[in-house]
Amino acid sequence: MITIAREKKLLKVMDHKGVLVVAFYGQDVASLELVERHRVELTGEDIEFFAGMLINPEVLDKTGKVDLKEPDYPYIIRVRWDNHNRILSFLPWEEGGAVEKIRLSPLDALKIGKLAERTCLINHLIERLKFEG
């Protein structure tokens, strides 16, 4: 599991049974406790694409960003490269909804990207074993 804390925000990325879970936590105004605000469970080829969003500048458009828009997910996941840093955003499908962002250092982005690649590799190996077995 990788945990990143920035400005009263917390990002947790973990491999859970072959699914890459990306959870965003923020501070509750009333209780001042950290509560889970957004959670996306990436599966299949989306895990590999997410890794590329964080570590491969070739997937970016001309504005320096890339989106993962999968209707099965509750949010659009956007990564924008800002010089060497990455801005990871959770965008709602509806207009006017709350947008959550967290800045990732190049090292944070690399760690998350490598975790995603390992999760994807493990999924491929499991599928291959199922097919051959």
Integer Cα distance of 29 and 1 in angstroms: 27
Q: pLDDT, tens digit, for every residue of 32-87? A: 788 888 899 998 889 999 999 999 999 999 999 999 999 989 999 999 999 889 99
What's the pLDDT at 125? 82
Sheet holding 2-6, edge to edge: 2-6, 9-16, 19-27, 34-42
Q: Please, are residues 112 and 8 in contact by the beta-carbon 8 Å criterion?
A: no
> What residues contact 54, with CB distance under 8 A and at least 6 apart?
79, 86, 88, 104, 109, 110, 112, 113, 116
Which of helix, strand or coil describes residue 15? Answer: strand
Torsion of CA 14, 78, 85, 83, to 10 degrees: 160
- Name the residue ranges covered by the structural domains of the chain: 2-132
Any bridge partners for residue 92, and if so which? 75
Specify burial of residue 90 (Cβ count, 10 A radius: 0-12, 13-18, 19+). buried
Question: Is the model's pLDDT at 122 over the cut of 90?
Answer: no
pLDDT band at 26 (very low <50, low <70, confident <90, very high): confident
Q: Say which CATH topology domain 2-132 has.
A: Transcriptional Co-activator pc4; Chain A (2.30.31)
- The per-residue pLDDT of the chain, averaged, comes to 90
Q: What DSSP state is assigned to residue 59?
A: G
Contact in structure between 51 and 117 (CB atoms under 8 Å): yes
